[in-house]
C-alpha cells in the first residue's frame, strides 16, 4: 500500500525571486520590440522573448539569465552596438555578455543570411555555458514554433525564412550538433527531440545537404 510522504519529510526549496531588474528588463524589451511580430503572424514578438525566458528559468537559470533571455534579440533587431552598450549600462556586464553571445548581427543592414549563420556557429563553439543555455532555449522555442506552423500550414511556411527549407533545416541540424557536443542539459535534450521531430515531419526531401559554397550564395 502506497504511503503519502509527509510534507516535513520533503526537501524544502525556495522559489527564485524575480525582482525589479527583471520587471525593468521586461518593460525594456516590450518597448524596444513594440510593433514587431513573429514571422508571418500577428503574434507580438514579446511572446517569443517570454517563452525563451520561461525555458531558461525552467532549466534552472537565475535572474540574470532570465533577463538575458528577455533581451537576447534586442541588439540584433533594435539598434546594434549602441543598444548593447545600453544593455550593459542598465543590466550589467554578465547580462550584456550573454546577449552579445546570442546575437548574430550587429549591423544594419544585416549581412547575408548564410554569412551570419555560419559565423554564429563558429562563435557558438567558444561561448560559455550560460550563453549557450540562453541560445539553446531560443533555438528550442523557435523549432517548436516551426513544428506547430508546419502542422498548420505545411510546406508554405518555408517562404517565411531567409534560408528557405533546406537552409533552415541545415541551420537547426548544425545548431543541435553543436549543442550536443557538451554535457547535455534539459534544454539541449529537448532541442534534440524537437529537431528530430521536425526532420521526421518534413520527410527525406528536407534532409538534402548543400555545400557551404552553394549555401553562401543565398542572401539574407
Of 1, 11, 220, 7, which Cα lies nearest the Cα of 117?
Answer: 220
| Contact (Cβ atoms closer than 8 angstroms) between residue 70 and residue 61 | no
**Cis peptide bond N-terminal to 10, omega within 30:** no
Out of 31, 62, 64, 77, which one is annotated catalytic? 77
| Contact (Cβ atoms closer than 8 angstroms) between residue 41 and residue 148 | no
Residue with cell 541545415: 170
Out of 64, 73, 76, 178, which one is annotated catalytic? 76
**CA 156 – CA 159 distance, rounded (Å):** 6
77 tagged catalytic: yes
127 tagged catalytic: no
Question: Nearest 5°: CA angle at 20, between 16 and 24?
Answer: 120
Active-site annotation, residues: 76-77
Amino acid at each position: 500500500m502506497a504511503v503519502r510522504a509527509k510534507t516535513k519529510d520533503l526537501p524544502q526549496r525556495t522559489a527564485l525571486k524575480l525582482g525589479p531588474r527583471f520587471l525593468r528588463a521586461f518593460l525594456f524589451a516590450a518597448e524596444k520590440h513594440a510593433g514587431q511580430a513573429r514571422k508571418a503572424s500577428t503574434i507580438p514578438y514579446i511572446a517569443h522573448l517570454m517563452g525563451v525566458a520561461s525555458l531558461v528559468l525552467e532549466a534552472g537559470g537565475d535572474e540574470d539569465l532570465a533577463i538575458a533571455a528577455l533581451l537576447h534579440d534586442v541588439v540584433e533587431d533594435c539598434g546594434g552596438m549602441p543598444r548593447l552598450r545600453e544593455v550593459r549600462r542598465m543590466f550589467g556586464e554578465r547580462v550584456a555578455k550573454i546577449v552579445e553571445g546570442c546575437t548574430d548581427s550587429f549591423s544594419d543592414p544585416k549581412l547575408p543570411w548564410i554569412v551570419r549563420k555560419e559565423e554564429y556557429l563558429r562563435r557558438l563553439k567558444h561561448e560559455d555555458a550560460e550563453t549557450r543555455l540562453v541560445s539553446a532555449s531560443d533555438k528550442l522555442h523557435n523549432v517548436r514554433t516551426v513544428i506547430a506552423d508546419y502542422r498548420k500550414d505545411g510546406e508554405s511556411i518555408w517562404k517565411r525564412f531567409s534560408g528557405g527549407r533546406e537552409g533552415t533545416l541545415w541551420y537547426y541540424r548544425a545548431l543541435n550538433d553543436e549543442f550536443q557536443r557538451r554535457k547535455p542539459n534539459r534544454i539541449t535534450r529537448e532541442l534534440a527531440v524537437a529537431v528530430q521531430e521536425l526532420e521526421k515531419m518534413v520527410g527525406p526531401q528536407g534532409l538534402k545537404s548543400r555545400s557551404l559554397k552553394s549555401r553562401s550564395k543565398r542572401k539574407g
